[in-house]
Amino acid sequence: MQYGEHLKLIPPEICSIEDYEIRARKHVSPEVWTYINSGSASDLTLYQNLVQFDQIKIWNRVLRQLTQGHTRINLLGHELKHPIILGPVAHQKLVHPLGEIATAQAADVTETLMVASTLASCTLKDIAHATQSHLWFQLYFQQTKENTLELVKKAEKSGYTALVITVDVPINGLRTAVQRSGFNIPAEAEAVNISSNHFEYLPYIQPNESEIFQGWMSLAPSWDDIEWLKNNTRLPIILKGILHPDDAVTAQNIGADGIIVSNHGGRALDTTPTSLEVLPTIRKRLGADYPVLMDGGIRRGGDVFKAIALGANAVLLGRPQLYGLAVAGALGVAHMLQLLIQEFEVTMALAGCGQVDAITHDCIAHNPSHSLF
């Protein structure tokens, strides 16, 4: 297999996200692989995101009548066929020439909600044309309010129905592995929906000033900016990248319509808690009805189940969509999703849950030595 080649048929031995991950590595260059699959600094959060699920045990429940079972949920007024969402992932043309358009086609056939990134390598309009399914737009605040609003209006006009504002990377995490590899985003995978160059807006730094604090952080958004944006868009807003329960409460108090508990797939601050660890507390603080989504390390249907049992309404996938895309384009992403949805259904059936609402904290076998759950 040459880098850049994609399968036209899925061989039967690909039957899990792990199989896609192993395959995907052969379809992209080592530098691209490092960019998509590494985390930040020492990769400790990245690792914890994956192993966190293994420590949680699900009760099997027997002899229940489940023939009316389904995975449908209602989220922010949207009817979704299942609670698995394609999260925002930048520069998808790195792994397939159709990039986000292929991912949107997969979202369409699997009736999956997709979140397009500010750093998408396809236009917001083209992505929107490729799917009839629900589509949200992930916003990174731009250097000026005018640039931010321009992007938001573009998303509104193209039919996106919610804004996911990512708040956990006012500056990039320490991308040590990527730095070592010398990788830069190539021209064909550049972000096409933003026009401006960050560096133009960086203030002049005096010799005794910090490039981080007086430089980059002077461009970073604050809670006031979220409130400003809320007053300047008709779309619901969801804050992505919340971990601390107090931040979750502030988000709710300022009128955010929901939050995504996330550590950015281990690509932002290294050694944060995992989403799963903080979910139960966040759910308790925000109440039963507030939309709380989560991401980070979802690789199995059982992981989706555990996240919901511990307080999430739905989960988002990051890297798994790139694995599917690298292996077989739209077909790969659609098949990857189908596998995960079916695994989730099997888990629900074996745990005696016929509906997503039935997946509660009681489905988890408690380990008394594990105080967080």
Q: Any idea which residues carry the catalytic annotation?
A: 264
- Residue recorded with tokens 């899925």: 10
Reduce the DSSP state of residue 134 to 3 states and report it: coil
Q: Cα–Cα distances in Å, from 338 out to 111, 215, 287, 300, 328?
A: 10, 45, 32, 12, 14
Q: Which of 99, 245, 291, 297 binds ligand FMN (CB under 6 A)?
A: 297
Q: Is 166 in the site for ligand FMN (CB under 6 A)?
A: yes
* Residues 197-236 within binding reach of ligand FMN (CB under 6 A): none
Of 236, 265, 302, 324, the residue at the interface with ligand FMN (CB under 6 A) is 265
- Which of 275, 263, 285 is CA-nearest to residue 314? 275
Minimum distance of ligand FMN from residue 97's CB (angstroms):
17
**HEC sequence for 261-285:** ECCHHHCCCCCCCCHHHHHHHHHHH
Q: Based on CB atoms, which residue is closest to ligand FMN, 140 or 290?
A: 140
Q: Which stretch binds ligand FMN (CB under 6 A): 23-31, 88-96, 197-205, 276-284?
A: 88-96
Task: Based on the shown chain and the rule CB under 6 A, indicate whether residue 99 belongs to the binding site for ligand FMN.
Answer: no
Q: Which residue is closest to ligand FMN by CB? A: 318
Between helices 319-350 and 30-37, what is the axis angle to 10°?
50
Backbone phi and psi for residue 326, each to the nearest 5 degrees, phi listed first: -65, -35
262 contributes a contact to ligand FMN by CB under 6 A: yes
- Least distance from ligand FMN to the Cβ atom of residue 352, Å: 27
CB of residue 205 to ligand FMN, shortest distance in Å: 27
The 10 Å Cβ neighbour count of residue 54 is 12
Using CB under 6 A, pick the residue from 87, 245, 301, 332 that binds ligand FMN: 87
Q: Which of 14, 24, 28, 36 binds ligand FMN (CB under 6 A)?
A: 36
Nearer to ligand FMN, 252 or 274 (CB): 274
Single out the segment in contact with ligand FMN by CB under 6 A; choices: 23-31, 179-187, 219-227, 316-324.
Answer: 316-324
CA angle in degrees (0–180, nearest 5) for 71-75-81: 30
- Out of 27, 96, 134, 240, name the contact with ligand FMN by CB under 6 A: 240
Whole-angstrom Cα distance, residue 167 to residue 231?
18
Q: Which of 33, 40, 75, 88 binds ligand FMN (CB under 6 A)?
A: 88
Write a three-state SS string for 62-96.
Answer: CCCCCCCCCCCEEECCEEECCCEEECCCCCHHHCC
Is there binding between residue 117 and ligand FMN (CB under 6 A)? yes
Judge residue 354's burial from the number of C-beta atoms within 10 Å of its C-beta, 0-12 exposed, 13-18 middle, 19 or more buried.
middle
Tell the smallest beta-carbon distance from residue 61 to ligand FMN (Å).
Answer: 28
Tell the residue number behind the tokens 């236009």, with chain if given: 123
CA-based Rg of the chain, rounded to a whole angstrom? 20
Among 99, 173, 302, 318, binds ligand FMN (CB under 6 A): 318
Q: Does 114 bind ligand FMN (CB under 6 A)?
A: no
Question: Site for ligand FMN (CB under 6 A): which residue of 40, 45, 48, 49?
Answer: 49
Instruction: Answer for the pair 17, 340: CB distance below 8 angstroms, yes or no.
Output: yes
Interface with ligand FMN includes 193 (CB under 6 A)? no
Q: Which residues would be at the binding site for ligand FMN (CB under 6 A)?
A: 36, 49, 87-90, 117, 119, 138, 166, 240, 262, 264-265, 267, 295-298, 317-319
